[in-house]
Amino acid sequence: MERRVSVKVQRYASNGLPPRIEQYEVPQKEGMTILDALMFIKENLDGSLAFRASCRMGICGSCAMFVNGYPYLACHTQIHEIGKQELIIKPLPNFPVVKDLVVDLSSLFDRHRTVLPYLIRSEEPDDTRPIVQRPDELEAFLKFSYCIKCGICVSGCPTCASDPTFLGPQALAQAWRYSADNRDEGFAKRKESLDRPHGVWNCHLAGACSEACPKGVDPALGIQRLKRALIASYFGLFRKRKATLGPPVSWEAAPPEGAPRPPERTVTPEDTSLSGD
């Protein structure tokens, strides 16, 4: 007998009418994800259902949604993981709803921008000299660089639920990701957006962000390290090893003996229509 799963989806159309729940019956196949179920509904039962998805492999962060009271990446979660034959799917909390399961993530990206999420260097980069980074220096920030900006941590954060001006776990974890990087010299600039009311100090360490994060980023840990670094910086104690530049690399030089060579060209630009004519 065919196994079926009941999928209840919150529908909302920004037209002033209150949200409503619609129920669909979906045949459940082995390994079926929540996103597969939504695709089935859209293709076979109701083409008007709106949801966001792109990569289907937990990389793009588009398909985050609230399933049976917990935030998940729909493409990354199989139906059997939920452990119920009834799924109640709602849009992510703590974000305004645009339509059905599509939320407006612009506040997430705005807050992300305020913490200057990029490497800030005091000198102009020298393309011929790579920056040396030891494995332990990479480890200091690697876990925090896995963030895919899906918004799940913000949707789980109780402080974000009550304080929309709070920077939120995503932005704060990214502030630490760059501040912990030994190539970065922008901590002093970043402090302006962190060390203020509704900044890093409003995190009360509920830990919901780390529990919900589908990529194992652990924003709560990043935020605590950020707090420690800020307090240490008041007393001039925040230090990290300054990145050094490696020896100049000559791109023209022949590779050393025994080094692997790139494959030889089998198609030249002249052979293709991309050659310019």
Q: Which residues bind other proteins (CB under 8 A)?
A: 159, 162-166, 195-202, 204, 227, 230-231, 234
- Residue 134 sits at the vertex; the CA angle it makes with 129 and 136, to the nearest 5 degrees, is 155
Q: Which is nearer to other proteins, 215 or 227 (CB)?
A: 227
Q: Which is nearer to other proteins, 204 or 242 (CB)?
A: 204
CB of 194 to other proteins, least distance (A): 9
CB of 175 to other proteins, least distance (A): 14
Question: Nearest to residue 10, comparing CAs of 80, 105, 103?
Answer: 103
CB of 108 to other proteins, least distance (A): 17
Question: Nearest to residue 171, comparing CAs of 157, 182, 181?
Answer: 157
Residue found under tokens 């030891």: 134
Please check whether residue 120 is in contact with residue 187, taking contact to mean a CB–CB distance below 8 angstroms. Answer: no
**Main-chain dihedrals φ then ψ at residue 254, nearest 5 degrees:** -70, 145
CB of 105 to other proteins, least distance (A): 19
Q: Which is nearer to other proteins, 131 or 161 (CB)?
A: 161
CB of 192 to other proteins, least distance (A): 11
Please check whether residue 25 is in contact with residue 4, taking contact to mean a CB–CB distance below 8 angstroms. Answer: yes
Q: Which is nearer to other proteins, 78 or 202 (CB)?
A: 202
DSSP state of 43: I
Q: Which is nearer to other proteins, 169 or 214 (CB)?
A: 169
Could you give the CA distance from residue 90 to residue 52 in angstroms, rounded to a whole number? Answer: 13
Residue found under tokens 């790579």: 130
